[in-house]
Amino acid sequence: MNNLDKKDKYLGCILGGAIGDALGAPIEFLNHESIISKYGDSGVQSYVEYPNGKGEFTDDTQMLLFTAEGLLRAKHRAVLKGIGGAQTQITYYSYLRWLNTQGLKISKMNDLSGFEEGWLIKRKELYKRRSPGGTCISSLQSGEMGTFEKPINDSKGCGTVMRIAPAGLIFSHDREVAFEEGAKICAITHGHTSGYLSGGLLSAIIADISNGLDLQASISNGLEILKRWKGHEEVYDSIKLALDIHRSYINKDISNLEIKMIGEGWVAEEALAISLLCSLHYQNDFKKAVVTAINHSGDSDSTGAITGNIVGLIVGKNQIPQDWKDNLMFKDIVEEIGVDLAIGCKSYYDFPDEKWHLKYPGY
């Protein structure tokens, strides 16, 4: 794709996720019956959190932004030094910056040099607690970085998949690399295989879509990679269920009843499966896909965010409803990250771009 198309698609992915997150945020802890009772038979169709019709994203998008920041810093380092491999560690430090925005102390971190450098941590709009996930908080506060070999816990919460889309964009050159690197980043905070493999799978799917593959093919390719990983069964079965439901309702709308067959989305494999079901069913209709993904008894903001990432990447920013774009709070932060992900890096080997270095220092 040319640079204009790439920018539109990447912006669609990142902005679409933030929009889905903001739409689902006010109903995250409501069951379907309560949603219908409060908002009518069609459920939530626009931002409802504030009287002025504005929408605000949650910790899901906050963490996605810091995922992107970490990966862009790592890419900058790799370009300047000619070697890669530090992306997980650098993204971990970006997550610690996010933890700082939540007003929490960081344990066992002695070297704070450069910690407050870069542009994202300076955006005070992000210094808000928007229902952050307990596992992400406790993992990061521990001062230890989880890995495949040394899991930090046994959690498989959806805090893995809701933040990982930037990995698929950064490593779009190779779905296998996108899967592994996405899973490594998820394992920083979530030690259960279903948690980090769900994130790896979404990363691989995002990578393929960004290269022009359709969603069905992207899922199939991702599942082939998934099957080679130990402990993949739970994730695989959830995604296969979503595919079966999609085929069974191919000429019908899906609703809370079909989503309920998968679960509520509080755990990673369910959140991913629900999002893939909504994305497959309405992959050329951003509004329909996201509205379906949020109006269910479960983790509405996370399934809205993941669906927004996927369908936003498919259709691009220009196909997202204008009023949803106009009324998203702090949209400029989200769009700046989307544009920078499309750029990748402005520096060249041994020739740093000074402004880019100030935005994304390579550490």
pLDDT at 252: 96
In the block, residue with structure tokens 């920078």: 340
pTM: 0.97
Q: What is the pLDDT of residues 143-160, one digit of tens each?
A: 999 999 999 999 999 999
Query: Which DSSP state fits 46?
Result: S
**Is residue 1 over pLDDT 90?**
no
59 belongs to an annotated ligand binding site: yes
pLDDT at 350: 82
pLDDT at 112: 56
Q: Write out the two tokens for 243.
A: 């595919």
- Burial class for 343, CB neighbours closer than 10 Å (0-12, 13-18, 19+): middle
**Cα(9)–Cα(88) distance, integer angstroms:** 25
Look at residues 124, 125, 133 and name the one whose alpha carbon lies nearest to residue 95.
133
Provide the residue type at 200 as one letter: G
Angle value at C-alpha 353, between 355 and 165, nearest 5 degrees: 75
**Is residue 107 over pLDDT 90?**
no
60 belongs to an annotated ligand binding site: yes
User: What would the DSSP string read from start to end of 243-257?
Assistant: HHHHHHTTTS---HH
Place 273 in a pLDDT band, splitting at 50, 70 and 90.
Answer: very high
Provide the residue type at 305 as one letter: A
299 belongs to an annotated ligand binding site: yes
Mean pLDDT on 98-103 = 95
Residues 6+ apart with CB under 8 A from 192: 151, 153, 154, 155, 156
340 belongs to an annotated ligand binding site: no
Q: What is the pLDDT of residues 320-361, one digit of tens each?
A: 999 999 999 999 999 999 999 999 999 998 889 999 999 999
pLDDT at 113: 60
pLDDT at 115: 79
Mean residue pLDDT of the chain comes to 96
The domains of the chain, with CATH numbers, are: 3-356 (1.10.4080.10)
Q: What is the pLDDT of residues 182-232, one digit of tens each?
A: 999 999 999 999 999 999 999 999 999 999 999 999 999 999 999 999 999
Q: What is the pLDDT of residues 308-329, one digit of tens each?
A: 999 999 999 999 999 999 999 9
